[in-house]
Structure 1
């Protein structure tokens, strides 16, 4: 199993940079974000309002939207170098999972998609290991970033996770690994690729293939088994693009990474209410450890209102 990241170019690493700490009061992100195109400091700016309107339309229609070129080139270069260094801290796990991350149920017929298990190998660097001066930490805590996400999702407000591990993570996919078809436990996720692989690593998704009314096992099974190749859509993502995605209802995957370079993606987890902590067993599965916060939260866990399997 891979345990190291691609080497960092010493010439790049040696360049002097101005470093700032993550600041929960900071609204000026002009050093990091292309604020000519995305003026986050002024939510009423017509340019930003036009982008927000487009994102809302894309989310309603596709369950997915992208803000292209969100990071400035120099900030992207910094985020890329930081990501390569962070990847050496990755926790890698490899297991066979179904799309719902549930255990095998032998009472179901063999053709049921819940009995279709796929190899999943990926690495994660958790928030407690990501320094406060990294680009992705500065973005995650900024009220300007939260306001943008809230506006795009038509929420009054969004909150950082209370989860000490999962609020902000870096996903690492080394060559030869992939993320098979799955759903997210939260309704939406915000991500940004910071390093792209040489080949593969494509994001594919099936918009709203399930709903709160039902799992659509027949349709999902056809996609998972490769019988339906028309429903899945492939989204071209470039480093520095900001993606908003409704992953609770849209089956999705990342195809196998090829070449010599890893695929790095920052995952910004926000929620509609404060105090969110991830599920105990899924946290252990993804990150290899849990905290007291996860144990206590699991004792208070309520059944999800939508009634879906995961």
Structure 2
């Protein structure tokens, strides 16, 4: 994807992707709270296209309502009774995999853009980012139906890039606890407190379609609250890695997409020793 095409998709008058000031602002927010939202990142005239393209593929989402914990590990894992991994929740969100998203879709064009990838790397202070080698998880659409939620969890990746494409009539609020754990410390007591109802560390975001969210979700507990009304909540998840060749584990891939491919039999070693 060439720079002129990016300029057709992104409101580059508001967010010049090569502007050091835009990058510095994003870095400062990520350093402070682990989260940065670039409001109205997509050009206004494309927001209805963004919504419609997501709505068109949403029926292909894999639904698998299940009981989970914040670490996405088996709920019957051998853990102490007071461990937060013992707190279970119902996960009701669904995912449309990358191989079901048309190459012409706005989110697919943006995901594969070297210019956009360079911008993402700069914002996170990385030398470069790579598209996942995973044909299912590289880019996906997260679908939350009315009455469902994406409960408290940590991300597998150290950084996450996402964009709301359709907002719910009610609910569907993104909530997170900035840096509640680190690469060196699980901080189980703090995590357990939030799961038990402590709202003091919780921040809430009022996201709108076309907003770009940069997030360090590996260290910040987060969720999407229950969706109300009649309209589904849709968001695109742009999955990148610092290393080439990254794919999801077979178990996690089957959980999210309902199927695995031969490529999922290989998996790179993690960069930390956190529970998930």
TM-score, normalization: structure 2? 0.97
User: Are positions 1:34 and 2:11 aligned together?
Assistant: yes
Determine the structure 1 residue equivalent to 2:194: 223
Shift, 1:88, TM fit: 1.2
User: Are positions 1:195 and 2:166 aligned together?
Assistant: yes
Distance in 1, matches of 2:80 and 2:157, equals 29
Shift, 1:305, TM fit: 3.2
Distance in 2, matches of 1:148 and 1:245, equals 14
Distance in 1, matches of 2:144 and 2:245, equals 29
Distance in 2, matches of 1:170 and 1:195, equals 11
Distance in 1, matches of 2:107 and 2:79, equals 43
Q: Is the 8 A contact 1:31 1:75 kept in 2?
A: no
Distance in 1, matches of 2:16 and 2:81, equals 53
Which consecutive residues of structure 1, in runs of 5 or more, have no partner in the other structure? 1-22
Distance in 1, matches of 2:8 and 2:216, equals 29
SS at match of 1:204: strand
User: Are positions 1:174 and 2:145 aligned together?
Assistant: yes
User: Are positions 1:233 and 2:203 aligned together?
Assistant: yes
Determine the structure 2 residue equivalent to 1:309: 275
Determine the structure 1 residue equivalent to 2:49: 78
Distance in 2, matches of 1:182 and 1:175, equals 20
After superposition, the C-alpha distances for 1:272-291 in whole angstroms (9 at most, x for unaligned) are 11111011100100110000
Q: How does 1:90-169 map to 2 (within 5 A)?
A: 90-105=61-76, 107-169=78-140
Shift, 1:105, TM fit: 4.4
Q: Is the 8 A contact 1:126 1:287 kept in 2?
A: yes
Determine the structure 2 residue equivalent to 1:270: 240
After superposition, the C-alpha distances for 1:283-308 in whole angstroms (9 at most, x for unaligned) are 1001100000001x14xx43x23210
SS at match of 1:273: coil
Q: How does 1:226-305 map to 2 (within 5 A)?
A: 226=197, 228-295=198-265, 297-298=266-267, 301-302=268-269, 304-305=270-271
Distance in 2, matches of 1:104 and 1:153, equals 33
After superposition, the C-alpha distances for 1:215-269 in whole angstroms (9 at most, x for unaligned) are 111110010011x111111111111000000000000000000001010000001
Q: Is the 8 A contact 1:193 1:237 kept in 2?
A: yes
Shift, 1:108, TM fit: 3.6
Distance in 2, matches of 1:39 and 1:107, equals 50
- From the CA coordinates, give the structure whose radius of gyration is larger: 1
SS at match of 2:163: strand
Q: How does 1:10-21 map to 2 (within 5 A)?
A: none
Kindly report the root-mean-square deviation, in angstroms, between the aligned alpha carbons of the 2 structures: 1.2
Which has the larger displacement, 129-138 or 106-115?
A: 106-115
After superposition, the C-alpha distances for 1:14-41 in whole angstroms (9 at most, x for unaligned) are xxxxxxxxx3xx122122111111123x
Shift, 1:104, TM fit: 3.2
